[in-house]
Structure 1
Amino acid sequence: MNELAVLDLVLEEEMRRDERIVLLATSTPEPWRREFGPERIRTCPISEQAMTGMGVGAAMTGLRPVVDLNRASFTFLVMDQLANHAARLHYMSDGGYRVPMVVTSATRGRQQLGPQNEQCPYGVFMQLPGFRVVVPGSAEDACGLLRTAVREDGPTLFFVAPELARGVRLAAALAAEPIPFGRAATLSSGSDVTVVAIGGAVQVGVKAAALLASQGVSCDLIDPRTLVPLDVDTIARSVRRTGRLVFVDDGPRSGAPAQILSALHDVEGLAARLGGRVGFVCCPDVPVPSTPALEQHTWPLEQDVVDVALKLLKAV
């Protein structure tokens, strides 16, 4: 089901733990169909709208559906089911209905799938109240966050970068305990600049932090892990100390980075502390090309992060 196969193992464990969890996907493992049966494993026709609508209805009856959309781009096909129903029913029913469903999908990968399939739309859903938006930066965190997601009572959008599958430590990932939503991970500590890296770009941030350290520049590297709820406090504390902020994301700067920056500007005194010392290393605001020669220019690179950080260090 998932491009990060270890998540399948976690979901399998969670399905054994809670019989209310059901899977709706266009492709399902045959061993699961044997173990859990057709009532809990639904192999669906390729109709994302039907799958998601079925998931909303199942959640309203007390089940806990996991709907696998495969590619994150396909969330745009089901905006009515998600934005107008899954995210709103609890509010519109005065708490009479809950929609404890998880929608999983893969974001950008180095697969040259073109502008319709290589997208990171999580910033869009940060603008739609009612969702929890999860974007893990490591396989271990993905496993812990998935355990939390299937146990939560509200709708969760779970975006996973295919890059997380590289170098996965299987035992550590499977052993990951549920991670509370809204708790960022600080991957390195420093006093010169704050780097906030999202999802698949976290490893770019890790490499950039090492390069900066070799030049005598220390940075706070923060992985938000969940964008809604967002751990504003952790990021704000770091920015108060460093006075400089760099966003790194596989998606466009007008997406999640812009949403996070907006939330930070609500923190008293933080905008003045930054004084304009904010940088972005993101995909340009263009459709992602399918041609490798062009696509390579849309990925955030660690040297770009280093260059932006050093530029901010020179700024008054």
Structure 2
Amino acid sequence: MNEVGLLDLVLEEEFTRDPNLVFLATNSPASLRRRFGSDRVRICAISEQAMTGMAVGAAISGLRPIVDLNRASFAMLVMDQLVNHAGRMHYLSGGQYRVPMIVTSATRGRQQLGPQNEQCPYGIFMQTPGLAVVVPGSLRDACALLRGATRWPGPVLYFVAPELNRQRGLSAALAAAPLRFGEAAHLRHGDAATIVAIGGAVKVASDAADALAADGVHCDVLDPRTLVPLDTAALAASVRRTGRLVFVDDGPRSGAPAQILSRLLDEPGVAAAAGGRIGYVCQPDVPVPSAPPLEETMWPTEGRIRAEVQRVLGEPE
């Protein structure tokens, strides 16, 4: 999260509101340290497992820790703490304990950091009961969902794309009220197809929808905002109406898109309405290469989205 400094001001306001908030990271925001001191803002040794394990214990004891893993790829290092402990403690204790903690990290960016550091692993954690999974698609939602995360009763995995830091409207974003989890954003309206865009891919999907609209093809564009809980009702209603579905994500097709599709196909009428007219503009199911020309083929682009929408419409581009 250090890559997206816009959230530091949100944290300062939330730290003032809630004295139980504490921050654990290998490098914490200087302004947060100066204002709230080392008792609440800790610079930790480089051990993601230790930081996350401390956070689980602190949350059970009544604090609300925020752990910044920096890169989303480091979430793989703390699977045991998140999956076996944070996500299951409420169940294992018969409801006696909650684990109100937040784990923040940055997803893929255009930095050529290679296959180990350029990842969007949120689809993996959608399969873990007990974890909320948050992936904002805009600057405003990044702030509002972080505020919502500081009020959520259990563990939250908060994945944010570095590209959001380049969006305009910081003042409006900082003024945004907390967003409730489980409510998708309906960004564009149309009957031709439903585009479900996730995280850093939301803006390019919206731009592609605008370009399609200029050609007379009007699409629904929805941003789930939270993958767990998922606003299945809103997504399903759109697909039943349009009869076509295209996923756009910076992550792999077998990740969040596959998880969302499995949920949607369980909804009455969705499979019949879509009739197999389902498309994907995602990272292929291979590691992200370091070489810029190869990595460029891994990103959703406006042209690829337009072509995929035309394909599910059964029309040539």
Q: TM-score range by the shorter chain?
A: over 0.9
1:157 counterpart letter in structure 2: L
Partner SS for 2:148: helix
Deviations 1:73-118 (A, max 9, x none): 0000000000000000000000111100000000000000000000
Q: How does 1:125-164 map to 2 (within 5 A)?
A: 125-164=125-164
Gaps of 5+ in 1: none
TM-score normalised to structure 1 length: 0.98
Which residue of structure 1 aligns with residue 214 of structure 2?
214
Which residue of structure 2 aligns with residue 113 of structure 1?
113
Counterparts of 2:263 and 2:148, CA distance in 1? 24
Q: How does 1:148-187 map to 2 (within 5 A)?
A: 148-187=148-187
Counterparts of 1:293 and 1:205, CA distance in 2? 22
Which residue of structure 1 aligns with residue 202 of structure 2?
202
Deviation at 1:293, TM superposition (A): 1.2
Deviation at 1:314, TM superposition (A): 1.5
Partner SS for 2:130: coil
Does the 8 Å contact 2:8/2:32 carry over to 1? no
Deviation at 1:37, TM superposition (A): 1.7
Counterparts of 1:7 and 1:32, CA distance in 2? 11
Deviation at 1:167, TM superposition (A): 2.4
Does the 8 Å contact 1:194/1:221 carry over to 2? yes
2:264 counterpart letter in structure 1: L
Deviation at 1:38, TM superposition (A): 1.6
Which residue of structure 1 aligns with residue 295 of structure 2?
295
Deviation at 1:2, TM superposition (A): 2.5
Counterparts of 2:309 and 2:190, CA distance in 1? 13
Does the 8 Å contact 1:6/1:173 carry over to 2? no
1:54 counterpart letter in structure 2: M
Does the 8 Å contact 2:64/2:101 carry over to 1? yes
**1:30 aligns to 2:30 (yes or no):** yes
Partner SS for 2:181: coil
Does the 8 Å contact 1:184/1:231 carry over to 2? yes
Deviations 1:206-228 (A, max 9, x none): 11101111111000000000000
Counterparts of 2:124 and 2:31, CA distance in 1? 36
Counterparts of 2:85 and 2:103, CA distance in 1? 14
Partner SS for 2:276: coil
Counterparts of 1:90 and 1:187, CA distance in 2? 35
Deviation at 1:34, TM superposition (A): 2.8
Which residue of structure 2 aligns with residue 11 of structure 1?
11
Which residue of structure 2 aligns with residue 249 of structure 1?
249
Deviation at 1:154, TM superposition (A): 0.2
Counterparts of 2:217 and 2:247, CA distance in 1? 17
Deviations 1:28-66 (A, max 9, x none): 233322321221011001100000000000000000000
Deviation at 1:313, TM superposition (A): 1.0
Deviation at 1:260, TM superposition (A): 0.4
Does the 8 Å contact 1:131/1:154 carry over to 2? yes
Which residue of structure 1 aligns with residue 48 of structure 2?
48
Counterparts of 1:269 and 1:233, CA distance in 2? 12
Deviation at 1:72, TM superposition (A): 0.2
Counterparts of 2:147 and 2:57, CA distance in 1? 22
Counterparts of 2:266 and 2:279, CA distance in 1? 19
Runs of 4+ in 1 over 4 A off after TM superposition: none
Q: How does 1:231-310 map to 2 (within 5 A)?
A: 231-310=231-310
Partner SS for 1:38: helix
Counterparts of 2:141 and 2:313, CA distance in 1? 31
Does the 8 Å contact 2:205/2:221 carry over to 1? yes
Structure 1 vs Structure 2 CA RMSD: 0.9
Q: Report sequence identity in percent.
A: 66
Partner SS for 1:49: helix
Which residue of structure 2 aligns with residue 312 of structure 1?
312
Counterparts of 2:275 and 2:136, CA distance in 1? 30
Which residue of structure 1 aligns with residue 230 of structure 2?
230
Deviations 1:198-250 (A, max 9, x none): 00000110111011111110000000000000001111111111000000000
Counterparts of 1:195 and 1:231, CA distance in 2? 14
Counterparts of 2:258 and 2:219, CA distance in 1? 21
